[in-house]
A and B are shown apart, each in its own frame.
Chain A
Amino acid sequence: MTLETLRLLLPQLALLVLGLLVLALDLAGGRGGRLRKSLPYVTLGGLVVALGCALALWGQEQSLFWGMLAVDPFAGFFQVLAVVGVGLVVLSAVDYLHGRTPWAGEFYMLLTFATLAITLAVGATNLLMLYLAMEFLSITSYVLAGFFREDRKSSEAALKYFLYGAIASGVMLYGMSLLYGATGSLDMREIAQALGAGLEPSLTWVGYAAIVLLLTGFGFKIALVPFHQWAPDTYEGAPTPVTAFLASASKATGFAVLTRTFLTALPQFQVDWVAVLAGVSMVSMTLGNLVALKQTNIKRMLAYSSIAQAGYIVIGLACIALGAESRFNGVNGVLLYLFAYLFTNVGAFLGVIAFEARTGSNEIADYAGLVRRSPVLAATLLVFLLSLTGIPATGGFVGKLFVFAAAIQVQFYALAVVAILNSVVAAFYYLNVVRYMFFVPAEEGAAAVAVPRPIAWALAVATAMTLLIGLYPQPFINWTTAAVRMLAAL
């Protein structure tokens, strides 16, 4: 290990130090001290440092630890995404945790370590490393989901998440072992070479099996149908900041590893996994949207919406057109969509958290008259809901434009048509929330909803970024296109 290696690991090191620091400060701070109150801001500061490190390493293309971990723009993009997303989640948690748990310090520590796991998973180029990082992320996430252990719903959320997660990761591991058995390697490139050289005829089924088995593990993180069953209950029961984390940074990680693994290790089977993903995409969009229509709890509604949104994003991978000098190569659409979706979806959850922190309710009907009770909250939620719908001038539109364009570019018209029909259906339930906020008068005596200051900052960032990506997407397009360029060279 040289100094150069350490330099390339700076984001991870920063997060590691941060996690330990938060833990130590929490221990040293004593109950209710000022030190403890400062923990979220310490975490935020550490995340900014990690963000700076990740940005400083932009453009590097190196491999560490004998091919275990890559430091490349693709990983860099997802590191930035995760750190920014977790930063917003930390801001959302400050007031939310207050009075609900005495162990806020551990919460920030776990979030930091989950972020560390993400930064490792998105760079993993060896299946073993990938598995370890994904497990690291899963285990911290299980604990976070069940963080309110006196709350039965939170415990249920954690248990459900854990049971599904344990099985999914076991199935994924089985897929990895099959690949190892067939090719004799865990390194993604070596697997691809072995597969390229041709398998024994009696072993060709391994490729198909590996696609499905690996997709189980990745699809679980992404919450794709049919691996989505955990999502509604976990989203509803988990502490809402954790839900925001699961729906943004954690979901994006699933996409990162899915993209890298399939493109790097299984290019020989692209025709097959593209077909599987196209099917999964259609089913996810349709099922997610149709079930979301009936939801009365906003967290459950956003859970189903996030399943549907995952379906849209998968279009980019199902309509991949790397190599050609194409502007919509599919993968840049995935990244762009995820980046816009990060601010949009975390923004929506920020609104939900602010509302829940003051009223204790997550029922959509209780949002009645919100425009009078908190005009700022209603207006920002409107922006996020329109962005989720895909209305122009928001980031959500740009993301949809890129994945739909990828579908049309490869002339997969059926997928594009299913997707746009779905986006019309989705408008109905997103606007249902708008209807309550703006049209339905508040109940007699419904109190004003004050937005806590940290959430107000986070809301400002999320709104500004959602609109910025929508109105001036140029730098983000360039950035995401650069992040996937190296994949085209594979």
Chain B
Amino acid sequence: MNFPILSAITFIPLLGALLVLLIPKEDEGTIKRLSIGISVIPLALSIYLWFAYRTTPGGMQFEELAPWIPAIDVRYHVGVDGLSVPLVFLTTFLTTLSLYYSAHTITHRVKEFFFLFLLLETGMLGVFVSLDFILFYVFWEVGLVPMYLLIGIWGQPKDRPQYAAIKFFLYTLAGSVFMLLAIIGIYLTTGSFDILEAAKARPFADNFPLAAAAFWAFFVAFAIKVPSFPFHTWLPDAHTAAPTAGSVILAGILLKLGAYGMIRIVLPVFPTAFKFYAPIVAALAVISIVYGALVCMAQWDLKRLIAYSSVSHMGYVMLGVAAAAASLNLGDAAEVARSATIALNGAALQMFNHGIITGGLFFLVGVIYERAHTRDLQAFGGLGAKLPYYYGIMAVTCLASLGLPGLAGFWSEFFVFRGAFALIPVFAVIGILGVVVTAAYILWKVIQYVFLGPFNAEKWGGLTDMAAFEKVTMWPLVFFMVFFGFWPTPIVNLLNSATSALIAAL
């Protein structure tokens, strides 16, 4: 048997977490070095995975299959395709950066923090590689607990972290229990817990009310996580309260779990129901985009603003998925499939880009908050001259976020709208308003209020520019924004191998 690379990627962080437990808590240096060191192994393996994955023939690769609970046909089935490879990489990459950043900023309850963070990584990676519903569900929920503790323990007291933590937990749990019922329903109909089998078997195809119920059960579970309007209200609280690295992971990866579920499970397993409800999904996506952006305009807390921008940006992902769903049985097969694939590529690419860009933005919020101990936009002004390095990095990240051509964010938005215009033009037209508002709040609220205008030398005279570790954290992220901005081909090819197969199978 080949080297079980996916199991290694998934479980090495868990192993690391257990090792951290063995170190005495006073020995913080060792804990930090060990955690970062351990997290580099799955990162290296996932880079290898990226290059070792063959886009021709595509499909599931590096599969591992073993019985787990034969009594009810639950299997340990993992595998990756072009959709999951970038997300696995994103997870290991952002985790390593977060651990590195946290090693410099987390000063109390260090052992618990690094233990939970590594545990969280296993949970997230497990979701992206699972091909069995029960396995998927187990990882899905297992990741919930460490994040709950991260928000609650290391949140800033004034941000009501305890409230935010339980809200995050209950929202996700409420969605996922319905998903569990739907999973059981699928098993009782098809006799298998396998996700790929379910996509072939199309459970409840002959019973639309049941198919609709199962569709909504999955959809709501994932929409809460994405989060899509009207399920988004946990997000600003959780993001604001979480420690910097927690916010990065929350925005960078946990939100992707929901979007990934939409593409991996909802679309292929319930295409007919999804097609039927695509207008509703598209409407929710458009509301998320526009409403999220408008709410950003009204924020005075920088971190909360970035949090709401996630609602808006993840709306693009939902729009792309809805467009792909709407493409089912829509005349001129070749052209429609082309648009659907482009829309879905855009959605998948937006997931990756949003992880890089918004992850970066949360790091940058952390940088200024560590120094100024405030995130009130009205308190800043004119920092551009005082903190030129920070200004530069922030400007690049912000421009990537608003979709400036030449930076990564542009391509994903472009693909989503290119696909959506062909398939659901009305929604696409409304959605594009969000792009305008995004430019407004990024330039006006973030750039202008923080960096331009009069400088309050009395208050901010003592601020220092980015430290070395902060630069080291940000540079890889900026690299990807620029690299994929100029040359998105490598990642698009990878995604396309998965999305085109998915669309073809609909």
Contacts and interface: CB of A to CB of B under 8 A. Distances in A.
Interface of A: 327-328, 371, 386, 389, 391-393, 397, 401, 404-405, 408-409, 413, 416-417, 420-421, 423-424, 427-428, 431-432, 434-435, 438-440, 472-474, 477-478, 481
15 contacts: A327-B71, A392-B137, A392-B138, A401-B134, A405-B184, A408-B181, A408-B188, A420-B180, A427-B173, A431-B148, A438-B149, A438-B153, A439-B153, A440-B162, A474-B71
A428 B166 contact: yes
Contact of A481 (B71, B137, B170, B185): B71
Contacts of B69: 472-474, 477
B480 interface: no
B71 A439 contact: no
Interface residues of B, number: 34
Interface string B137-177: 11001101100110011000000011001100110011001
A405 B169 CA distance: 24
A328 B161 CA distance: 40
Contacts of B185: 408
A416 B184 CA distance: 11
Contacts of A423: 173, 177
A386 B173 CA distance: 12
Contacts of A432: 166
Contacts of B68: 472, 474
A327 B181 contact: no
B142 A438 contact: no
B170 A392 contact: no
A328 B149 CA distance: 34
A148 B61 CA distance: 65
A228 to B, nearest CB: 24
Given A327-B71, A438-B149, A477-B72, A420 B178 contact: yes
B70 interface: yes
Given A431-B166, A477-B69, A392 B141 contact: yes
Nearest to B187: A405
Contacts of A408: 181, 184-185, 188
Contacts of A472: 68-69
A205 B68 CA distance: 49
Contacts of B162: 435, 439-440
Interface of B: 68-72, 112, 134, 137-138, 141-142, 144-145, 148-149, 152-153, 161-162, 165-166, 169-170, 173-174, 177-178, 180-181, 184-185, 187-188, 213
Contacts of A439: 152-153, 161-162, 165
A417 B141 CA distance: 19
Contacts of A424: 170, 173-174, 177
A327 B192 CA distance: 12
Contacts of A413: 181, 213
Nearest to A481: B71
A328 B185 CA distance: 12
B185 to A, nearest CB: 6
A389 B213 CA distance: 24
B180 A404 contact: yes
The 8 closest A-B pairs by CB, nearest first: A392-B138, A420-B177, A477-B71, A439-B152, A405-B184, A424-B174, A392-B141, A408-B184
A477 to B, nearest CB: 4
A428 B173 CA distance: 10
B431 to A, nearest CB: 32
B218 to A, nearest CB: 14
A379 to B, nearest CB: 9
A405 B121 CA distance: 30
A51 to B, nearest CB: 24
A483 to B, nearest CB: 14
A417 B169 CA distance: 19
A420 B70 CA distance: 25
B480 to A, nearest CB: 33
A237 B149 CA distance: 33
B152 A391 contact: no
Given A405-B188, A439-B153, A439-B161, A386 B145 contact: yes
B112, B134, B170, B181: which has the most chain A beta carbons within 10 Å?
A: B181
Contact of B142 (A392, A404, A431): A392
B224 to A, nearest CB: 12
B145 A401 contact: no
B237 to A, nearest CB: 15
B166 A401 contact: no
Contacts of B153: 438-439
Contacts of A473: 69, 71
Given A392-B141, A408-B188, A438-B153, 18 more contacts: A327-B71, A328-B72, A392-B137, A392-B138, A392-B142, A393-B141, A405-B187, A424-B177, A427-B173, A428-B170, A434-B149, A435-B162, A435-B165, A440-B162, A472-B68, A472-B69, A473-B71, A474-B69
